[in-house]
Amino acid sequence: MTIAIKKAKRISELPPYLFTEIDRRKRQALARGVDLIDLGVGDPDIPTPAPIVEKLVEGASRPVNHRYPSSIGMIAYRQAVSDWYQSRFGVKLDPEKEVVSLIGSKEGIANMAAAFVDPGDLVLVASPCYPVYHIGTIFNGGRNYFLPLTKENLFLPDLDAIPHEVARQAKMLWINYPNNPTAAVAEKEFFTRVVEFAHRHNIIVCHDAAYTEMGFDGFRPMSFLQVDGAREVGIEFHSLSKTFNMTGWRVGMAVGNQDLVSGLAQVKSNVDSGIFQAVQEAAIEALRLGDKIVEPSRRVYQERRDILVDGLRAAGLDCEKPRATFYVWVSVPKGLTSAEFTTRLLDLTGVVITPGNGFGEPGEGYVRFTLCVDKRRLKEVADRIQRIKI
The helix/strand/coil state of 75 is: helix
Backbone angles phi, psi at 351, to 5 degrees: -95, 125
Domain(s) labelled CATH 3.40.640.10 in the chain stretch across 50-289
- Confidence check: pLDDT of 203 > 80: yes
Question: What pLDDT is recorded for position 7?
Answer: 85
Q: Spell out the residues 6+ positions from residue 344 whose beta carbon is closer than 8 angstroms to its own.
A: 336, 388
* Cis peptide, bond prior to residue 178, ω within 30 of zero: yes
pLDDT at 389: 75
Q: How far apart are CA 324 and CA 331, in angstroms?
A: 18
Question: What does the pLDDT look like over 331-357, one tens digit per residue?
Answer: 999 999 998 999 899 989 999 999 999
Task: Fold for 50-289, please state it.
Answer: Aspartate Aminotransferase; domain 2 (3.40.640)
**pLDDT per residue as tens digits for the range 5-51:** 888 888 777 766 666 767 787 888 888 888 999 999 889 999 999 99
CA Rg value for the chain: 21
With pLDDT > 90 as the criterion, what percentage of the chain qualifies?
A: 88
Pick the CATH number of 9-47+293-387 from 3.90.1150.10, 3.40.50.300, 3.10.20.440, 3.40.50.1950: 3.90.1150.10
Kindly report, residue by residue over 258-291, the tens digit of the pLDDT: 999 999 999 999 999 999 999 999 999 999 999 9
Give 127-160 pLDDT, tens digit per residue: 999 999 999 999 999 999 999 999 999 999 999 9
Tell me the pLDDT of the chain averaged across its residues.
Answer: 95
Locate CATH 3.90.1150.10 in the chain. Answer: 9-47+293-387
pLDDT of residue 17: 63
Give the per-residue pLDDT at 34.
84
Contact 244, 53 (CB under 8 A): no
Q: What is the DSSP string of 222-258?
A: PPGGGSTTHHHHEEEEEEHHHHTT-GGG--EEEEE-H
